Structure 1
Amino acid sequence: MDIGQDRMDENDDAAPVEMLGALFEANGWSFEYVSDDEVCAEIPGSWTTYQLRGVWRSEDRVLQLLCLPEVRVPSAKRRHAHELLALINEQLWLGHFDIWSQGGVLLYRHGLMLGDDGMLSLSVAQAAVESAISECDRFYPAFQFVLWGDKTPRAALDAALVDAAGEA
């Protein structure tokens, strides 16, 4: 996910939504501006294609990244899914996984507090997007094991982390 110097100057900061759009375009990912404050892209991961949304709140100078792996948690599996979320979130330094109460949609989200100028650098944008995709890829199998493999949350997490550690 490396953007060449010919596409953007790494020292140039931009408004957050525009920077994300430029990053998505430079990587050849399908994206659209939902509004002046929101951009949405389809990004291929190791297990699935993720929908990544960047939502800018200018009054707080916070860019929220939402990464959705297109997983819905059925009501019957919510208790185990929430237990798995707690186990996973303990391990994260940035962002967290959540399940929307309406519709049971699984997502990863991370808020970036930007400075007084509200500008986003290419390096921070790239690191945030890479982190979101990496964490979704890392834990996607654990959710599959709980939701469709009937493993306990602890067993699912252990199996997913062993599998991920074994990949080259």
Structure 2
Amino acid sequence: MRVAQHAFPGNDDAAPVDMLAALFEARGWPFETLSPEELSGEIQGSWTKYQMRAIWRAEDKVLQLLCLPDIRVADDKLTGAYELLALVNEQMWLGHFDVWSTGNVLVYRNGAMLGSGGMMGLDQAQAMVETAVEECDRFYPAFQFVLWGDKAPRDALDSALVDAAGEA
């Protein structure tokens, strides 16, 4: 679902956290602006609610978007999870999945360089958020199959992609 340009006063670019806050507000998604450089929110995906975090580094003009599908990887499942991560990341054009070493939390990460002005447009904000949710939804079943269904990583990915292709 796209948010119309007229939903934003002036239709201008804005500071990245401000633009994302406006997008979350327009969509009715709960969020909190933690600082001028950080936003935290929640989005309902197809499988679960995703914790979304945006972190702006003004000195580098880089916005990092993190999407956490609330999956923790048990120590005894790390090998399978890392194998699946490698297979999943081969399928990705934008962003990547990782397991944070602190807490073994699955995370989708994507970054955007915003140029010398450091401003973000509505289309770019929507694309980043929608891509994060779509990728988490697309691969969520594969992680479930490996972590809770004891499937082999390749079989889990194949099953998840076939299931996703069947949803129209």
When normalised by structure 2's length, the TM-score is 0.97
Instruction: Check the 8 A contact 1:10/1:123 in 2, yes or no.
Output: no
Structure with a larger share of its residues in helix: 2
Give the secondary structure class of the aligned counterpart of 1:145.
helix
SS at match of 2:60: coil
Rounded to whole Å, the distance in 2 between the matches of 1:12 and 1:108 is: 28
RMSD: 1.1
The 2-side partners of 1:38 and 1:103 are apart by 21
Q: What is aligned with 1:167?
A: 167
Q: Structure 2: which 5+ residue stretches go unaligned?
A: none
Matched residue of 1:14: which SS? coil
Structure 1 partner of 2:27: 27
CA distance in 1, matches of 2:6, 2:164: 34
- CA–CA distance in 1 between the matches of 2:104 and 2:10? 38
Shift of 1:74: 0.4
The alpha carbon displacement at 1:104 in A equals 0.4
State the partner residue of 2:41: 41
Q: Secondary structure in 2 aligned to 1:13?
A: coil
Amino acid in structure 1 at the alignment position of 2:19: M
The AA in structure 1 aligned to 2:146 is V
Q: Give per-residue Cα distances to partners, 1:69-105, cap 9 Å, x unaligned.
A: 0000000000000000000001111100000001000
Distance 2:148 2:10 in 1: 43
C-alpha distance in structure 1 between counterparts of 2:11 and 2:19, whole Å: 12
CA contact (8 A) 2:5 2:122 kept: no
Equivalent residue, structure 1, for 2:126: 126
Residue 5 of structure 2 contacts residue 11 of structure 2 at CA under 8 Å; is this kept in 1? no
**Partner secondary structure for residue 52 of structure 2:** strand
Q: How many residues align structurally? A: 168
The DSSP-based 3-state class of the residue aligned with 2:40 is strand
User: For residues 112-143 of structure 1, what are the alpha-carbon distances to aligned partners after superposition, in whole Å with 9 as ceiling and x for unaligned?
Assistant: 00010000000000011000000000000000
Structure 1 gap segments, 5+ residues each = none
Question: Runs of at least 4 residues of structure 1 off by over 2 A?
Answer: none
1:6-155 aligned at under 5 Å gives the runs 6-8=6-8, 11-155=11-155
TM-score by length of 1: 0.97
Q: Confirm or deny that 1:2 pairs with 2:2.
A: yes
